[in-house]
Structure 1
Amino acid sequence: METIHSLEELRSVNGPLHLALGVFDGVHIGHQAVIGAAVDAAKSGGGIAGVLTFDPHPIRVLAPQVAPQRILASLTHKKELLSDLGVDLLVVIPFTPEFAELDAQSFLDDMNDACEDLRTLAMGEDWKFGNRRSGDVNLLRSFGQQNGIDVRALGAIMLDGERVSSTRIRQAIRDGNLTAAAAMLGREYTVLGTVVEGRKLGRQLGFPTANLRAHNEQLPSDGVWAVDVALKDGSIHRGAGNLGMRPTVENGEERRMLEVHLLGYSGDLYGQDMEVRFLQRVRDEKKFDSLDELKAQIDRDVEFCRSFEES
């Protein structure tokens, strides 16, 4: 999948183009329907299936005081998810205060002018864009009629009587209801992060851990979790993950982190990205009176994770 970072770069794209428009945080089942409309149009009419999105999330620029602290999928993670959906081209527009001033009609005109042959635009029926959110589906449909572009506006996806949304999914993850989150995402919820160097205390206890710096993605509740970890080489490993403040070893220092012990794995993971799937919450995080007590509990946690089988 090719990635470009401006409307102007669309000039380099040859042939018919079918674009899905939106932020697509999490690429949940509602987003997948919109993206699928562009992919299907490319398959049936020929040409390139693309997604046009924005980074950072516009709300972080327009209203940072109400923006969620965590997102469902970082840009790196989103690229992997979109590629799996059959997207050929990703257009990532840097969302800056200056870009936010661009009015909706100018955005559409600039996009169309840069495209050799724009055939399809797909979006959610309630999508708003442009300065002061002045652009909507009505403007898009009028624009499509004037320029011979097929505009496909898709309705919200409902699940259990409620609209699927990124806000609802984030809450389910915070609550530890990963089954509900997976149903709305259309896949198991995973967190993508980069392994960073830690204090190597796990190694001293006999359980070396990979300390993960999550890419600002939403994490579930603190505690010990049975996890599966996918590495860049395609291998998948069972692991025991600890998410929280590590009260026994941090001596009161407040630093939330995710560390994972990969069962039976040996190798250098520093600097690598890995994807963590949370399977089962094992227990609450707990402060132990000694490192010996902590080690004994980790022994039990690891054995539970090793023997855990998904139902």
Structure 2
Amino acid sequence: MQRLDGGSAVPPHLAGGIVALGNFDGFHLGHQAVVARAVAIARAERRPALVATFDPHPRAFFRPDTPPFRLTTIEQRLALFAAAGVDAAVVFHFDEQLAALTAEAFVAERLVRNLGVAGVVTGEDFTFGRAKGGTVGVLAELGRIGGFATEAMAPVELDGGPVSSSRIRDALREGRTAEATRLLTRPFAIAGEVIHGDKVGRTIGYPTANVAMGDYLRPAYGIYAVRGRLEDGRVLQGAANLGIRPQFTPPKELLEPHFFDFAGDLYGQRIEVELVEYLRPEAKFDGLKALMTQMDADCARARAVLASLD
């Protein structure tokens, strides 16, 4: 799969494609349905299948002080798009210039001129253009004028409600990892470089691979059963503390996975940590001995949870 800059014309062999258009943060069941429909149309019409997304997220551009909310990095989304079978991903850099484009200008300049679209598939709640002036109805009319087809997909329903990124965020904030996993079709995963910490864990028999939270949504603070995916493809099992470590001072927000039966050096490596199951909230204990007793219990429970999924 090729990554393309949405500010430039696509290569000739990718022009005239069917484009799935949206933010796609999280790439959940609903997003997957939009992309799958675009791929199906493209294959039936023997055209290229593309996904077009925005980075940074428009919300982060317009409200830079908003608390972190991202479910995926652009790198994670690109990997998910590739797995969905598209030929290319177009990344629109969301900046002042893009924000200033009217819906009509966005379609004319970015979709028609740069991408040469033959068709566009979106979710039915998709909006675009300056002041969100573009709706799926506006897009359909502009498509009729511009000579390309449009289709708006209804939300996917699961467990009695529509699948949405906001619903997933709420579930993660409340520690409902199983629900988030069903909506995403995979565990929520945090990717980042392993950084040096205080190295307290190794002194009590629980070395950790510390990862900063960055722009990711903050799920419920607490202890999780986790899987770690390393750069070389290995998958490790473990337990992780996500939060501010109330046992130690000063408070420091980190994701700190301890991987079972692993003794390698991960500093400087990029890993991805899946939050498989929320075990308990963060807590402060009466000394290190009490903490270690609880950590033993947490790890035993995490092992049992992860073993049940194999």
Structure-2-length-normalised TM-score: 0.91
State the identity as a percent. Answer: 36
Q: 1:169 is matched with which residue?
A: 168
Q: CA deviation at 1:215?
A: 4.4
Summarize the alignment of residues 12-23 of structure 1 with structure 2, pairs less than 5 Å apart. 13-23=13-23
RMSD: 2.1
Gaps of 5+ in 1: none
1:263 positional shift = 0.6
1:290 offset after TM fit, Å? 2.6
**Is the deviation greater in 150-159 or in 289-298?**
289-298
Match of 2:42 in 1: 42
8 A Cα contact 1:195 1:210, kept in partner: yes
Q: Which amino acid in the other structure matches residue 148 of structure 2?
A: I
SS in 2 for 1:225: strand
Give the superposition deviation at 1:52: 1.1
Match of 1:259 in 2: 256
Aligned to 1:70, the other structure's residue is in SS state coil
Match of 1:200 in 2: 199
SS of 2:207's partner is coil
Q: Deviation per CA, 1:4-58: give whole Å up to 9, x if none.
A: 2233142565453111111111111111111112111222222321111111111
2:283 to 279, 283, 286: 286
- Say if 1:298 and 1:135 are closer, same or farther in 2 by CA, change over 3 A: same
CA distance in 1, matches of 2:9, 2:263: 43
Q: CA deviation at 1:171?
A: 0.4
In 1, the alpha carbon distance for the partners of 2:304 and 2:184 equals: 27
Aligned length, in residue pairs: 307
Separation in structure 2 between the aligned mates of residue 75 and residue 89 of structure 1, nearest angstrom = 14
Are the aligned partners of 2:222 and 2:278 in contact in 1 as well (CA < 8 Å)?
A: yes
Deviations 1:283-306 (A, max 9, x none): 332223333333333233323323
The answer (yes or no) to whether the contact 1:11–1:114 under 8 Å persists in 2 is no
Note if contact 1:188-1:277 (Cα within 8 Å) is conserved in structure 2: yes
Contact 1:230 1:236 in 2 (8 A): yes
Residues 279 and 310 in structure 1, CA contact (< 8 A), matched pair in contact too: no
Secondary structure of the corresponding residue to residue 92 of structure 1: strand
Deviations 1:117-144 (A, max 9, x none): 4222111122111111111222222222
Instruction: Please list, as runs of the form range in 1=range in 2, the aligned pairs for 1:121-136 lying within 5 A after superposition.
Output: 121-136=120-135
What is the deviation of 1:184? 1.9
Q: What letter matches 2:224 in structure 1?
A: W
For normalisation by structure 1, the TM-score amounts to: 0.90
Match of 1:137?
136
